[in-house]
Structure 1
Amino acid sequence: MRHSALAFLAAVAALVAGAAFAAGREPVLKQIDLPHDYYWREQYLPQLTTGPSSVSFTPDGKALIYSMAGSLWRQAIGSDEAVELTHAAGAYDYQPDVAPDGGSVVFDRYDGAAVELWRLDLATGREQRLTTGGAVNVEPRLSPDGKRLAWVSTAGTGHFNLFVGEIGPEGISGAHLLLGERRSRIDRYYYAAVDHALNPAWSPDGQRLYYVGNPEVAWGTGDIWSVSASDSADRRRVLSEETMWSARPEPAPDGKRVLFTSYHGRQWRQLWLTTPEGAAPLPATFGDFDRSDARWSPDGRRIALISNAPGDTRLMLRDLPGGAETEVIATQRRYRSPQGRLDIDIRDEAGRPVAARVTVTGADGRAYAPDHAWMHGSDGFDRARQPMETHYFHCPATCSVSAPAGPVIITVQHGFRRLIWRGEASLAAGQTQALAVNLKANDLPADFGRFVSADLHVHMNYGGHYRNSPTRLAAQAKAEDLDVIYDLIVNKEERVPDVAWFRPDPDPASDAQTLILHGQEFHTSYWGHLGLLNLSDHLLTPGFASYRHTALASPWPDNGAVADLAHAQGALVGYVHPYDNPIDPAKETTLTHELPADAAHGKVDYVEVMGFSDHKATAEVWYRLLDLGFRLPAGAGTDAMADYASLRGPVGLNRVFLDTGGERTPAALASALKAGRSFVSNGPLVGLELAGRHPGDSVALGGKRLAYRISLRSSLAIDHLELVQNGRVLKAFALTGERRNLDAQGEIEVRDGGWILLRAWNDGADPALLDLYPYATTSPIWLESPQGPPPAPADAAYFVTWIEKTMASAAARDDYNTPQEKKQVMDYLQQALDRYRGLAGTKGRAHEH
């Protein structure tokens, strides 16, 4: 046993050693064929949390079986002891449903490759696998007689569909798709063209199934329906309701009420009641936090639910009627295997306590964290190098973690200016092992600038498992060595969860180390999303436009009009997470992103060159705009949903370093960003000096050779370090040894005006980086010559084609509110098109990219 555990951990250590090479980072559960996985993965699929995540009553109503920390647990109501029922090596268990006879429980198990259904015999502890095939199978629900099983599966299609089968001692038989696949007649942006069926629950008589479906629903996961378990043609809409993945309708034992989760015109999810006939819903609970995953007790007098009122997830019992709510706390835990404890003490290079991001992998290949810590999982991983995505938590300098006795692997990261720390420890049963972590500095030379790091794009709350606050957000920033967070308040369908937090001045949770600023992301999935920083008075409402099949369907206000409204408040306007793939306008069927038009009109103050997008694809478009003389600084924002358990990365994964001279005021930050005194990165630090000037500055070309000085510091091996002028590599620097650090200086021949920058990048992913691949770039230094920048007709022609396609799409829209709206949009695009046509007619060489 110990030998196999050591071998496993040695393999894990090799995987995270940080040697970057061309590799394939792929999404978690890549077999699911649905758009916008960062929504359904978090808001629908179960995730690893240290607290409870789903629950089921035993038939006598005296105990609960629930999922917590990736295992199933049983706890008698009124007791403080929880007994671990399942614990699979390298896998996590969720969503238990206890059989009506109390003898077994069905559940789903995630192993890094798929989610399969299993059954646990509660008397013998025998586990039986119920599904195979590598699909995603979730939400198992046993019929009241225990003879049938309903669940949701992606089997055969990659879409979430409702399945039903007979279940007996040998497992599932006669499994079939209950509803079949159907394609809606309307277009949808966040949801697939094919309808889904989610959240099954049996009626008390076992004749019908309640579920959530979205036929002809453009936004939200859809309506509450019921369907006959024996005749799929007998289908009834119970309630028209814009649910958000987690409605989970639950009929009461008396069959007269249906409990479900909804935000229903509010900002947070609470419990509501309707009837099988669809009576107007009434709220059962209230609060500025989420209650979800609710289950009735067998006698219908209690509800077990999951709450995030304190921030993390908690299991609650609530009386109905009455409303008394009691937390079910596992003060004592009886584990299936002996446990040890690891006490971690993290200090920086000066010996000062410092918060950090920590990964702890136990001898069983599972991730561990302190009780009540927020466990987070990455959204992708390279299957050739990891068996499962990376899970991590934030440790406030000192923390204690329980894990199975045996070896553990620990990784500690604190931003980009210190090296990643990696180590091992051995836990003995019933004992505590102290672990001292001493971080080492690895920063740029100070004369490249006095930088303040900022994430320009964070969402404090966005429908995740947790409930965030400015104080918690500041703690997350400290652990990531991030100086500034711009919390961009934004809608998700009808909700704007953080609307009450907006204020023009810094949040009171800010301190001398961390600044929290509240801005806005304006949503229009037609024109592209905008970041609005430093709004001086109010949020722009409703905050979204061009939502098809709604009263806000009109493509106006377009982003140019929105930028004018923001600039009137003194705000900075940026394009956020622009491009996931390279853009070839000639080959695109439709192209509506308005960045080129807004750049031509001078509406854009920065571009998220790094964000929740493909950095190289975004840079290709950015370079073309720079070639044409548009001085667009590089910004960066993670688009971190900071209340998620599963996300691409933590706050500060993509960040901008602003040379403010060390100032941390909103005005100093805005000035440095708009001037381009910046570099952006997800790990490597890059410094550039040309003729004594830094990014954002201009250099007059008096001769043909200029002195340069560059610097690279990185925790990760870097493949490429290059000076780029006007879209072409001017000089590549050879990286040797560990390929992490380099200082170089010399002279370069510069023939033309235009721009120059320094970039570092890798061909493929690195397991230590929770992003597509390592990347960093400075903003440009501008090269001024008497002849001006060289013409770039090929780049201008590229945007001519782009805007022509945008205009064709905009002209075809029939949902403007007035002819004046359409005319305003078309005139605006025509003016931009005329400018690019003029630039395309300029004679000169084409630029290569």
Structure 2
Amino acid sequence: MESPMSRLSLSLPLGSLLLALLSTRSPCAAPQPPLPAIDLPHSYYYRELYLPQLTSGPSSLAWAPDSRTLVFSMAGSLWRQRTDSTLAEQLTDGPGYDYQPDWSPDGRYIVYVSTQGQAMELWLLEPASGRTRQLTHTGTVNVEPRWSPDGGRIVYVSTAYHRHFHVFAADFRDGELGEPALLTGENKSPLPRYYYSAYDHEINPTWTRDGKSIVFVSNRGRIHGTGGLWRAAAVAGAEPVELRYEETSWGARPDFSPDGARIVYSSYLGRNWMQLWLMPASGGEPFPLTYGEWDETGPRWSPDGAQIAFISNRGGDLQLRLLRFPAGNSRALEASNRRRLRPSGALHLTVRDEQGSLTAARAVVTDASGRFYAPAHAWTHHAEFDRNEQPFEARYFHTAGDDVIEVPAGTVSIELMKGLARAPERRTVEVRAGSTTEVDLALPARPWLDGSERRWVSADVHVHMNYGGHYRNTPAHLVLQAQAEDLDIVENLIVNKEQRIPDIASSGVGVDPASTAGTLVVHGQEFHTSYWGHLGILGFRGGILLPGYAGYPNTAAASLSPTNADIADLAHARGALIGYVHPFEEDPQPLTRPAHTDADELPVDVALGKVDYMEIVAFADHKATAGVWYRLLNLGFRIPAAAGTDAMANYAT
């Protein structure tokens, strides 16, 4: 007997039948891409400010039980160094990039984070033998491992539960990690957060000295920042108590003094840069241990209580420093001599322009496995890439044209690029152990001409020299970065990062004195309001407009006034140009699909003649933004197009 379904199928056109068949297939028949390991908004913040990143200099550290030796992450490997020596000994060498070590109280083990693919897993190293083994196998992000004082447990942060940052703990016995327990429960907050998830997070855990409790950072009940310091018993479901609230920004990373009476942590309280602060273990008012217009982060107290080791970017790149306590004076611990696990040689890279002069460029140096290498004090940066094309995350550094890079013996690849007016160069060489291989490459210019007398000028109208990243940038270094990317003009938009404005010293400078005849760094401003839309302010006279933001809930700047039109009038009175920056993430449909966008005020301001330019190619969806721009052009509004990357120039990511 013919079924009703078969009669229906026979009556359908072939195309409709195929669509029906496709729509009724099991979901298992079409593999879906894996979910990302982290479910949080604004990934460019937590990736740079929280997750470990590849840097040429040291990025995280821990003390050995003897208080005379440190283990630290540097250039994607773990290294060991005595505090009275300049010799650093490499402890790990892949297969991934290794970070965030912590030494067990008995000295037998080092737990650390290894990044391979999308996941960050906990691994174990035996320093005496060099043997390593993987401890977690979640395929998620597992970071910040810390041993309990008795060595019997490890506390860490993981996204294994609902892809949010929570604190876990697991027993450790005979070199193996037991079943992890979720110590901090999940709570969805009703607060109007913008840069942070609606779900509370818990990060930066550390043990109290009796091993019964943990202290961590959480944004429970808070709108802005990553939150204050909390304390809870180290058991699942324990109710935490807030010790102190301040805004923080992912990197407080508290650590107890050996006697358990004090907590040292990193904070930008009332300042523009992060420094070391000290507070009572039970809470209370902190006081600063260090001062400076740079960052001091990741403090760890030596077991004997005599020193605090930390990471500093006071010289621009990252360095390891030791602070005597009490005393207050700190010194750099230089790793000028390095003993590697594999035989190595040197690569002398020279880059020249069409006239044979040294020229800056973006450089990528990798070994046969795809692992990245850079000069000892270069700034390593992350580039977006396709994991189907290469196993390691794409990285690069900016060379001034003459650099020496220590690399493993064997095949080494060099890739160079310098903007869009020069063809990239690639070279593969063999490096012999103990020798130096010379590589001299040329990047001749092929200018884009506009007629016979004029050429195009390359510019980026939206850059942030400093924005809370790993490095400490300066106008002179920003000039080098611009030259390496073949940019003639860079507009550094001074802006707040939460409560601080790192580049406030450049307010009112205009064209920076570090500029050269061919490369200009010009200081402007980005006005922050996520309600009306972010504004770029270029070429104004005098200092920046303060406060530099509006519409921040639960602050004195909670009001939606001043509007962007008000800001445009103030800026125009100072001779500035006003533009809407990174306006649209998707095509706005206000009539059929009304929704708040980050540029709601744009059409009104255009009609009122307040807008001098729009970022069309920007840190947003360029197709959606261009669609709005074309509609405005068709209505007769001749708004110039601009391009701005929103590059955070002191980021490792």
Paired amino acid for 1:541: L
In 1: Cα distance, 2:473 partner to 2:597 partner: 36
Paired amino acid for 1:64: L
The aligned counterpart of 1:200 is 205
Q: 1:351 Cα deviation (Å)? A: 2.2
The aligned counterpart of 2:420 is 416
Q: 1:28 Cα deviation (Å)? A: 13
How do residues 262-341 of structure 1 correspond to structure 2 at under 5 angstroms?
262-341=267-346
What per-residue deviation string (whole Å, max 9, x for no partner) do you get for residues 86-145 of structure 1?
0103x2100000000001100000113211000001111111101112101100011001
In 1: Cα distance, 2:299 partner to 2:509 partner: 38
Contact kept in structure 2, 1:29 and 1:113, CA below 8 Å: no
Residue 45 (1) aligns with residue 51 (2): yes
The equivalent position to 2:184 in structure 1, one of 179, 186, 200, is 179
Paired amino acid for 1:31: A
The equivalent position to 2:488 in structure 1, one of 468, 471, 483, is 483
Q: 1:445 Cα deviation (Å)? A: 3.5
In 2: Cα distance, 1:442 partner to 1:411 partner: 19
Paired amino acid for 1:207: K
Q: 1:583 Cα deviation (Å)? A: 2.5
Q: 1:29 Cα deviation (Å)? A: 9.9
Contact kept in structure 2, 1:57 and 1:297, CA below 8 Å: yes
The aligned counterpart of 1:249 is 254
Contact kept in structure 2, 1:455 and 1:484, CA below 8 Å: yes
The equivalent position to 2:398 in structure 1, one of 394, 397, 405, is 394
Residue 83 (1) aligns with residue 83 (2): no
In 2: Cα distance, 1:535 partner to 1:97 partner: 49
Query: Residues 606 and 589 (structure 1 numbering): CA distance in 2 closer, same or farther, change over 3 Å?
Result: closer
In 2: Cα distance, 1:28 partner to 1:310 partner: 41
Residue 634 (1) aligns with residue 631 (2): no
Paired amino acid for 2:607: A
What per-residue deviation string (whole Å, max 9, x for no partner) do you get for residues 480-506 of structure 1?
111111110000110000101122431
Residue 506 (1) aligns with residue 511 (2): yes
What per-residue deviation string (whole Å, max 9, x for no partner) do you get for residues 515-565 of structure 1?
111100000011110000011012100100000121211111111111111
Contact kept in structure 2, 1:363 and 1:404, CA below 8 Å: no
Paired amino acid for 1:274: M
In 2: Cα distance, 1:389 partner to 1:331 partner: 27
Contact kept in structure 2, 1:504 and 1:535, CA below 8 Å: no
Q: Secondary structure at the match of 2:626?
A: helix
Query: Residues 536 and 504 (structure 1 numbering): CA distance in 2 closer, same or farther, change over 3 Å?
Result: farther
The aligned counterpart of 2:455 is 450
The equivalent position to 1:471 in structure 2, one of 476, 479, 494, is 476
Paired amino acid for 1:384: N
CA RMSD of aligned residues (A): 1.5
Paired amino acid for 1:346: V
TM-score, with structure 1 as normaliser: 0.71
The equivalent position to 2:603 in structure 1, one of 576, 592, 596, is 596
Residue 57 (1) aligns with residue 68 (2): no
Residue 625 (1) aligns with residue 629 (2): no
Q: 1:277 Cα deviation (Å)? A: 2.1
Q: 1:599 Cα deviation (Å)? A: 0.9
Paired amino acid for 1:533: L
Relative contact order, higher structure (CA 8 A, sep 6+): 1
Q: 1:384 Cα deviation (Å)? A: 2.1
Query: Residues 588 and 175 (structure 1 numbering): CA distance in 2 closer, same or farther, change over 3 Å?
Result: farther
The equivalent position to 1:427 in structure 2, one of 422, 431, 447, is 431
Q: 1:83 Cα deviation (Å)? A: 0.6
Structure 1 portions without partners, runs of 5+: 1-26, 647-849
Runs of 4+ in structure 1 off by over 6 angstroms are none
Query: Residues 79 and 540 (structure 1 numbering): CA distance in 2 closer, same or farther, change over 3 Å?
Result: same
In 1: Cα distance, 2:260 partner to 2:248 partner: 22
What per-residue deviation string (whole Å, max 9, x for no partner) do you get for residues 673-727 of structure 1?
xxxxxxxxxxxxxxxxxxxxxxxxxxxxxxxxxxxxxxxxxxxxxxxxxxxxxxx
The aligned counterpart of 2:229 is 224
The equivalent position to 1:377 in structure 2, one of 379, 382, 387, is 382
| Matched residues, number | 618
Q: 1:155 Cα deviation (Å)? A: 0.9
Q: Percent identity?
A: 51
Residue 101 (1) aligns with residue 97 (2): no
What per-residue deviation string (whole Å, max 9, x for no partner) do you get for residues 25-84 of structure 1?
xx9994211111111110111111110000100011010000100000001110111110
In 2: Cα distance, 1:388 partner to 1:574 partner: 38
Q: 1:382 Cα deviation (Å)? A: 1.6
Contact kept in structure 1, 2:370 and 2:392, CA below 8 Å: no
Q: 1:288 Cα deviation (Å)? A: 0.6
Paired amino acid for 2:206: A
Structure 2 portions without partners, runs of 5+: 1-32
The aligned counterpart of 2:128 is 123
In 2: Cα distance, 1:231 partner to 1:221 partner: 22
Paired amino acid for 2:91: L
Contact kept in structure 2, 1:29 and 1:136, CA below 8 Å: no
What per-residue deviation string (whole Å, max 9, x for no partner) do you get for residues 549-606 of structure 1?
2121111111111111111111000011112223333224434621111111111000
Q: Secondary structure at the match of 1:192?
A: coil
Contact kept in structure 1, 2:362 and 2:398, CA below 8 Å: yes
The aligned counterpart of 2:25 is none
Paired amino acid for 2:637: F
In 1: Cα distance, 2:263 partner to 2:650 partner: 28
Q: Secondary structure at the match of 2:451?
A: helix
What per-residue deviation string (whole Å, max 9, x for no partner) do you get for residues 242-263 of structure 1?
1110001111111111111000
Contact kept in structure 2, 1:28 and 1:389, CA below 8 Å: no
Contact kept in structure 1, 2:182 and 2:236, CA below 8 Å: no
Q: Secondary structure at the match of 2:350?
A: strand
The aligned counterpart of 1:609 is 616
Paired amino acid for 1:623: Y
Q: 1:446 Cα deviation (Å)? A: 4.3
In 1: Cα distance, 2:418 partner to 2:432 partner: 28
In 1: Cα distance, 2:487 partner to 2:306 partner: 48
How do residues 650-661 of structure 1 correspond to structure 2 at under 5 angstroms?
none
The equivalent position to 2:245 in structure 1, one of 240, 244, 263, is 240
In 2: Cα distance, 1:123 partner to 1:320 partner: 30
The aligned counterpart of 1:540 is 545
Paired amino acid for 1:332: N
In 2: Cα distance, 1:337 partner to 1:583 partner: 55
Paired amino acid for 1:351: G
In 2: Cα distance, 1:429 partner to 1:596 partner: 63
Q: Secondary structure at the match of 1:106?
A: strand
Q: 1:350 Cα deviation (Å)? A: 2.8
The aligned counterpart of 1:676 is none
In 1: Cα distance, 2:516 partner to 2:104 partner: 52
Contact kept in structure 2, 1:363 and 1:405, CA below 8 Å: no
In 2: Cα distance, 1:492 partner to 1:221 partner: 13
In 1: Cα distance, 2:468 partner to 2:442 partner: 36
Q: 1:638 Cα deviation (Å)? A: 1.1
In 2: Cα distance, 1:615 partner to 1:505 partner: 29
Contact kept in structure 2, 1:28 and 1:112, CA below 8 Å: no
The aligned counterpart of 1:831 is none
What per-residue deviation string (whole Å, max 9, x for no partner) do you get for residues 426-462 of structure 1?
1111111111112243332441743222111111111
Q: Secondary structure at the match of 1:382?
A: coil
How do residues 808-847 of structure 1 correspond to structure 2 at under 5 angstroms?
none
In 2: Cα distance, 1:29 partner to 1:92 partner: 22
Contact kept in structure 1, 2:78 and 2:101, CA below 8 Å: yes
